[in-house]
Structure 1
């Protein structure tokens, strides 16, 4: 792989350079590559344009495609980064302002592509295949996380768990939901790129690249369906967690409600004998005080055992 620097003021690219990977290029570097390749290089602002006509188009026999790829999938803040793929002549030009792992994986496996078939169309097909494989890996990683979350939430429910245990799991569910949302957006973007690429006359001149693009398109469609299934599981897990939180909160409220009912009869007895009426015979009894205490205890015990008998406790 050849690395070009702005200081190397070439007037013509060697024929054996079939892939130019522009990573976070400056405006000076963009201008230099435009003069070298005689094409326009999209800027960072151009890549952010969401209009289909600005992301997929043909200009001066060069095919321009922009896809959104998942970046920082292993972190708590996954992002989407826009990457431009340009087929011009026999070369592939990629413009990116981030470093998705799929590119490093593709570079590491670049030796598997035979030298005699290396051209822009073939490299783009293999690169898109690597991106799809990396997306599948992210989906598998997310599924494993969801399985662990499901086990933590539903397993050992009878054991005492720390307060706000489920509230903490909601944050983990939200992280995975965010990641799956990014993956689905990326797969939708890749699907549009592959559909556009398969309809370009340039691809039809390379049978191997065309077949590989069709295979990758089927893989992306399958991954999109699978991502939708995973998103449904995450939604179920979120609803189940919120339901369990409501159950725990209702159990606490039930305890307070039963406690208030249990202590209501003793409070009534104490209120009656706290009155200041003169004609209350019990006030003159020598055993009136212990009788009042006994009445309060009995009036508290009877509702308690009644609730136990009904299964409310």
Structure 2
């Protein structure tokens, strides 16, 4: 699918079966979403530049993500997608900037693209150049990343309350396997933050490359926006590192509480074995088959043995309670 955006923010579809010979003069952005090979060739014929394919994005080396070829600047960044789902992932997005057009190639649906496209439809500040459109798209991506981190921080607070409670009342006994299930939530939380940090590192490199391009250097407003976005990404990276350290604390706390509960269970079994040891000793003594055992001839021998076993079990129990071990 090819969506063309005019300089005034209006959009239109460019179906392959109704191929245009040339693009309208006011089209500045071609967004290729899940393009087929035919759509790749169609975009190349319209813009006169080589458009990265799915194979190019998959096989591109980290050191070859940013380069200039002729009059086109090629940039590839990893954007976080599906952040609200259980399987967030990084999607490689290609940005190709020329004097006349901005071309984006993507095989996923980052929410920032939808947000920016909706904002373009509402703009009323006149024509927009390709490099300005790219810079503002990067600004939207940065804002979307900030939103993801804000929600992630709220999720971390919720996990913290689930582990320790709010402090106003004692933590109630947790259901079985509650903490084990909580570890899964912490793992998903860490996965989201990890991918967000990888995305921001990729975007920071792209912004450095874009800021140093001649077309941005010659535009004071675009350069100012680039510097602001770069600073925002640095701040967000620091904030993501802070959230990541909190996740480490949550993980350590959960594992510690699991150990506490396991130790409590082991303590119960240990105390039970100690409490039952004296009665077992008494029963073992009177279970021995000796011919001469005076207690066997007692009328109250059997009740006396039972009482001895009960007393020998009760005394260790209350002794442990007195020591505070129970």
For normalisation by structure 2, the TM-score amounts to 0.93
Partner Cα separation in structure 2 for residue 92 and residue 12 of structure 1: 15
Q: How does 1:205-244 map to 2 (within 5 A)?
A: 205-244=218-257
The answer to whether structure 1 residue 83 and structure 2 residue 83 are counterparts is no
Partner Cα separation in structure 2 for residue 274 and residue 71 of structure 1: 72
Q: How does 1:289-300 map to 2 (within 5 A)?
A: 289-300=302-313
Would the aligned equivalents of 1:180 and 1:227 in 2 still touch at CA under 8 Å?
yes
Would the aligned equivalents of 2:160 and 2:250 in 1 still touch at CA under 8 Å?
yes
Deviation at 1:86, TM superposition (A): 0.8
**Aligned match for 1:138, one of 123, 148, 153:** 148
Q: Secondary structure at the match of 2:59?
A: coil
**Aligned match for 1:181, one of 194, 200, 207:** 194
What is the match of residue 6 of structure 2? none
**Aligned match for 1:92, one of 94, 99, 102:** 102
What is the match of residue 253 of structure 1? 266
Deviation at 1:112, TM superposition (A): 3.1
The answer to whether structure 1 residue 69 and structure 2 residue 79 are counterparts is yes
Deviation at 1:2, TM superposition (A): 2.6
Write out per-residue CA displacement over residues 70-107 of structure 1, whole angstroms, 9 at most, x where no aligned residue: 11111111111111111012211111111111011101
The answer to whether structure 1 residue 48 and structure 2 residue 58 are counterparts is yes
Would the aligned equivalents of 2:164 and 2:171 in 1 still touch at CA under 8 Å?
no
What is the match of residue 128 of structure 1? 138
What is the match of residue 274 of structure 1? 287
Deviation at 1:113, TM superposition (A): 6.3
Greater alpha carbon shift after TM alignment, 19-28 vs 277-286: 277-286
Deviation at 1:158, TM superposition (A): 3.9
What is the match of residue 23 of structure 1? 33
Write out per-residue CA displacement over residues 264-311 of structure 1, whole angstroms, 9 at most, x where no aligned residue: 000000000100111211111111111111110110011001100111
RMSD: 1.2
5+ unaligned residues in a row in structure 2: which ranges? Answer: 1-10
Q: Secondary structure at the match of 1:11?
A: coil
Partner Cα separation in structure 2 for residue 279 and residue 209 of structure 1: 106
Number of positions where the alignment pairs a residue of Structure 1 with one of Structure 2? 312
Change (3 A) 1:159 1:53: closer
Partner Cα separation in structure 2 for residue 164 and residue 157 of structure 1: 19
Would the aligned equivalents of 1:49 and 1:55 in 2 still touch at CA under 8 Å?
no
Partner Cα separation in structure 2 for residue 174 and residue 22 of structure 1: 34
Write out per-residue CA displacement over residues 116-156 of structure 1, whole angstroms, 9 at most, x where no aligned residue: 3x011100010000000000000111111111111111116
**Aligned match for 2:44, one of 34, 37, 55:** 34
5+ unaligned residues in a row in structure 1: which ranges? Answer: none
Partner Cα separation in structure 1 for residue 308 and residue 238 of structure 2: 68
Write out per-residue CA displacement over residues 219-256 of structure 1, whole angstroms, 9 at most, x where no aligned residue: 00000000010011011101100110110011011000
